[in-house]
Amino acid sequence: MKGAIGKIKIAFLFAATALFLAGCGKENLTALVPKGSSAQKSMDLIILTTVVMTLVFIVVMILFVVVLARYRRKKGQEDYIPEQVEGNKTLEIVWTVIPIILVLIMAVPTVVYTFELADDSKAKDHINISVKGNQYWWHFDYTDDKLQTSQDLYIPTGEKVFIHLLSNDVTHSFWVPSIAGKMDVNPENENTMYLEAHEEGVYWGKCAEFCGPSHSLMDFKVIAVSPDKYKQWVKDMKEMDPKEKPETTVAQEGQKLFEEKSCIACHAIGPSPVAVGPNLTDFGNRTKYAGILEPTKENLVNWIVDPEKEKPGNKMTGKYPNVSKEEAGKIAEYLMQIKPSSVTPETAGK
Ligand code: CUA
């Protein structure tokens, strides 16, 4: 009876853990539903190694059970000593060669894929984006098109986009599991990888290297759109006029406050390679505010009034004079109406 209760307890623990872990999966944040060529290669390797391991497990278990059943000591055999196989050449060769073959089956494709994924010799023929990691946000510089943005990275589907990764402070790690593997973002050397999305979508990106108190909040998005939409987006972003007057009076006041409260000293609107803080050129179209907050006015106001509360250790805190809730509301109105392009995360089927 005691044993049965123990088993029930273990079964319950497994079920609860499975249920808990099931909550971790997000359709656009998983390597198990690949939506890009690099992620597909990782998935191929995951399947290959799982198949090999499962086969080994099954064969070992069958042999184990057969030996247990067939060669157990029987009545009248108490003094029987079975044939000794120590030093048996054939057996030694068999159980050395089989594991070597299995390791080779897994190692050869892994090494081939590793070199393929690291190959940036053809980067010049493709789109190149310089990515800078910062505590706790991402800067994207479309070097060929001379335009900049942050947090939402637009790429065309069906094309290789080479990203060149460098950090402005500590080591981060760039990871969009649905599209590609992760790559370290170091302050001292540039790492290059490519993204190639198969279909339109908004794919979740994460910093995958502990980089400070808000590491887990250093999210970003990759927005994959059709090549036509991408061209449109680039055109709109380049033609965006940062000086344009907003329609409403409140937003106009917000625009003035944006300058008076020195927000503009760190945040560029429009193309600018300098980025002390996130570039806000397409802010009104962002999927999230500050990378993590649902894009509502209330959230934006709270963020502007007290960023430390939302993202501890961020570098915006204390960099500007006090902003009241009312003033923050006006700045929010201004920022939320900055929508330079009709190509948005929604058009990518968010
Ligand atoms: Cu950046 Cu963790």
CATH label of the domain that carries residue 69: 1.10.287
Distance 264 CA to ligand 1 centre (A): 25
3-state DSSP assignment of residue 124? helix
Task: Give the per-residue pLDDT at 5.
Answer: 75
β strands within 226-323, DSSP E:
none
Q: Which domain range does residue 330 map to?
A: 249-347
In a domain, 225, yes or no: no
pLDDT over 80 (residue 264)? yes
For 246, list phi and psi in degrees, rounded to 5: -65, 160
What CA–CA distance (Å, rounded) separates 33 from 123? 26
Classify residue 295 by its DSSP letter.
Answer: S
Distance 208 CA to ligand 1 centre (A): 6
For 84, list phi and psi in degrees, rounded to 5: -90, 130
In a domain, 92, yes or no: yes
Those residues with Cβ within 8 angstroms of residue 161's Cβ, 6 or more apart along the chain or in another chain:
126, 127, 128, 129, 155, 194, 195, 196
The answer to whether 166 and 185 are in contact (CB under 8 A) is yes
Task: Give the per-residue pLDDT at 322.
Answer: 87
- Residue labelled with tokens 């273990």: 10
In a domain, 94, yes or no: yes
In a domain, 8, yes or no: no
Q: For residue 165, what is the enclosing H or E element?
A: strand 161-167
- pTM of the predicted model as reported, rounded to 2 decimal places: 0.86
β-strand partners of 191: 165
Distance 290 CA to ligand 1 centre (A): 14
For 74, list phi and psi in degrees, rounded to 5: -105, 165
The string of pLDDT tens digits covering residues 176-188 is 999 999 999 999 9
Average pLDDT, the chain: 91
What CA–CA distance (Å, rounded) separates 230 from 200? 11
Cβ 172 under 6 angstroms from ligand 1: yes
The answer to whether 319 and 266 are in contact (CB under 8 A) is yes
Q: Which residue has its alpha carbon closest to ligand 1 atom 1?
A: 172
Higher pLDDT, 342 or 2: 342
pLDDT over 60 (residue 1)? no
In a domain, 312, yes or no: yes
Ligand 1: nearest atom to the Cα of 215: 2
Looking up residue 313, the CATH number of its domain turns out to be 2.60.40.420
β-strand partners of 207: 174
Ligand 1: nearest atom to the Cα of 185: 1
Domains held by the chain: number: 2
User: DSSP alpha helices (H): ranges in 193-241?
Assistant: 227-239
The answer to whether 233 and 225 are in contact (CB under 8 A) is yes
Distance 204 CA to ligand 1 centre (A): 14
Residue 350 pLDDT level (bands cut at 50, 70, 90): low
Distance 207 CA to ligand 1 centre (A): 4
Ligand 1: nearest atom to the Cα of 172: 1
Cβ 218 under 6 angstroms from ligand 1: yes
Task: Give the per-residue pLDDT at 19.
Answer: 66
Residue 20 pLDDT level (bands cut at 50, 70, 90): low
Task: Give the per-residue pLDDT at 244.
Answer: 86
pLDDT over 70 (residue 125)? yes
Cβ 207 under 6 angstroms from ligand 1: yes
Task: Give the per-residue pLDDT at 22.
Answer: 61
Those residues with Cβ within 8 angstroms of residue 218's Cβ, 6 or more apart along the chain or in another chain:
135, 136, 137, 138, 172, 206, 207, 211, 291
Ligand 1: nearest atom to the Cα of 133: 1
Cβ 263 under 6 angstroms from ligand 1: no
Distance 117 CA to ligand 1 centre (A): 23
Cβ 215 under 6 angstroms from ligand 1: yes
Task: Give the per-residue pLDDT at 21.
Answer: 63
Poorest-confidence range of 73-77, 86-90, 219-223?
Answer: 73-77
The answer to whether 191 and 159 are in contact (CB under 8 A) is no
The string of pLDDT tens digits covering residues 142-166 is 999 999 999 999 999 999 999 999 9
Task: Give the per-residue pLDDT at 11.
Answer: 79
Distance 315 CA to ligand 1 centre (A): 14
pLDDT over 90 (residue 127)? yes
Cβ 165 under 6 angstroms from ligand 1: no
In a domain, 132, yes or no: no
- Residue labelled with tokens 């090999």: 52
Distance 220 CA to ligand 1 centre (A): 11
Distance 168 CA to ligand 1 centre (A): 12
The answer to whether 207 and 175 are in contact (CB under 8 A) is yes
Measured over all CA atoms, what is the biggest interatomic distance in the chain, rounded to whole angstroms? Answer: 101
Proportion of the chain in helix, strand, coil states, percent, rounded to 5: 45, 15, 40
Name the burial class of residue 291, with classes exposed (0-12), middle (13-18) and buried (19+) by CB atoms within 10 angstroms of its CB. buried
Torsion of CA 215, 140, 236, 38, to 10 degrees: -90
Ligand 1: nearest atom to the Cα of 218: 1
Q: What is the percent of the chain where pLDDT is above 90?
A: 72
Task: Give the per-residue pLDDT at 25.
Answer: 65
Cβ 209 under 6 angstroms from ligand 1: yes
In a domain, 341, yes or no: yes
Task: Give the per-residue pLDDT at 236.
Answer: 94
> Amino acid identity, residue 320?
Y
Higher pLDDT, 13 or 251: 251
In a domain, 112, yes or no: yes
The answer to whether 132 and 170 are in contact (CB under 8 A) is no
Higher pLDDT, 151 or 77: 151
Task: Give the per-residue pLDDT at 147.
Answer: 93
CA atoms within 13 A on the CB side of 159: 19
